[in-house]
Amino acid sequence: MEIYGKPIDDQTRCVHYATALDVVAIKFVCCERFYPCHLCHEQTADHEARQWPIERQGEHAILCGVCQQTLSITTYFEVSECPHCAAEFNEGCRLHKHLYFE
């Protein structure tokens, strides 16, 4: 899976978010590309970010950087760790939910 933006390792950490728990990349609906975070998109994409519409929350727009499996937006909202490999996700991401999803 190709990760755009400014990743710094192969678990999708980036220059902006690089704690042990920052292992999720998000596909942006505007360009269908995975970025580690909204700042990566803002600084490297040539367009404004768009948010996933509510009716498309079944899309597998979340990538776990640890096991490289994807999960749906709905599943991502329900879990605090990866359902495939049990890697813990950063709860802080929820504060930025509105940047990615309607």
Which residues contact Zn ion (rule: CB under 5 A)? 14, 16, 28, 30-31, 36-37, 39-40, 45, 64, 66-67, 82, 84-85, 87
SS3 of the chain: CCECCCECCCCCCECCCCCCCCCEEEEECCCCEEECCHHHHHHHCCCCCCCECHHHCCCCCEEECCCCCEECHHHHHHCCECCCCCCECCHHHHHHHHHCEC
Closest distance to Zn ion from the beta carbon of 9 (Å):
12
Please give the Cα distance from 84 to 53 (Å, whole number): 25
Nearer to Zn ion, 30 or 99 (CB): 30
Nearer to Zn ion, 30 or 57 (CB): 30
Closest distance to Zn ion from the beta carbon of 92 (Å):
13
Nearer to Zn ion, 16 or 96 (CB): 16
Closest distance to Zn ion from the beta carbon of 33 (Å):
6
Closest distance to Zn ion from the beta carbon of 58 (Å):
19
Entry field: residues in the chain = 102
Nearer to Zn ion, 66 or 93 (CB): 66
